[in-house]
Amino acid sequence: MNAYKIEGAVALVTGANRGIGRALSEALLSRGVKKIYAGTRVQGALSALRDARVVPLRLDVTDAQQVRAAGAMATDVTVVFNNAGVTLNAELASASAFDRAREEMEVNYFGALRMLREFSAILARNGGGAWVSVGSAAGLTNVPMFPTYSASKAALHSLTQCARVLLGAQQTSVFGAYPGPVDTDMVRDLALPKAPAREVANAILDGIESGQEDIFPDSFSHGFGRQFESSPKACERQTAAMFAAMAAGSAA
């Protein structure tokens, strides 16, 4: 895996208006990128990113027309951060489980696939560059409290592995980031220690610049990643035990 230098790059970040996406955008600016296409579904949501290098981009990754329009506009991109994601906390037995699971898959997997199809050729024309999938530790071992979200992130992990092989032929470096719980709106009610989004964003960029294929950007995911690499089954059992302990605590 080739390391990728952030300084002077032209980046595109999906879901750039909040959470990890906003933190990534701020970290990229501090590291000297030439330009950031900041993608967001909501117009006017980027008021906090006041920098001449920021180009607002209306981009809903579930909308094929908007993805094509982004590709037509951002022809100079050299690194894409596929960050947009959603979790809807679908319980398997709930009446809304299928609808919520489809929406999670539409954003977390099919959205990434749309972006990859649109921008892989752009990256190739610009010398290869880099593709970064912001996944989740929950995509490596299913977290029972987020069963359908975990499944969608597992699909993204599989797509990232495939992209690493296929895009390697065009000299595009492909990175997967697998954070644990991060202090964002997405997991506000989760009763677990959470890593600050800014620290996670900087750790992701550190991993890219050092050439790490799989980036575990916080203390939880770092330990989890080491265990996953040695024994995926042990990770499954650990996650099941953690879920059982949390369930028992909430019932007490």
Q: How many residues does the chain have?
A: 252
Which two tokens mark 155? 């699909």
**CA-CA-CA-CA torsion sign (158, 114, 84, 72):** positive
CA gap 149, 136 in Å, rounded: 10
CA gap 8, 28 in Å, rounded: 10
Burial of residue 168, with CB atoms counted within 10 A of its CB: 0-12 exposed, 13-18 middle, 19 or more buried: middle
Q: Is the Cβ–Cβ distance between 204 and 134 less than 8 Å?
A: yes
Q: Is the Cβ–Cβ distance between 92 and 41 less than 8 Å?
A: no
**CA-CA-CA-CA torsion sign (129, 133, 134, 137):** negative
- What positions carry a catalytic annotation? 149
End-to-end CA distance of the chain, in Å?
A: 48
Burial of residue 127, with CB atoms counted within 10 A of its CB: 0-12 exposed, 13-18 middle, 19 or more buried: exposed
Sheet containing strand 10-13, edge to edge, reads: 54-58, 35-40, 10-13, 79-82, 130-134, 173-177, 214-215
Q: What one-letter code names the amino acid at 146?
A: F
Q: Is the Cβ–Cβ distance between 172 and 128 less than 8 Å?
A: yes
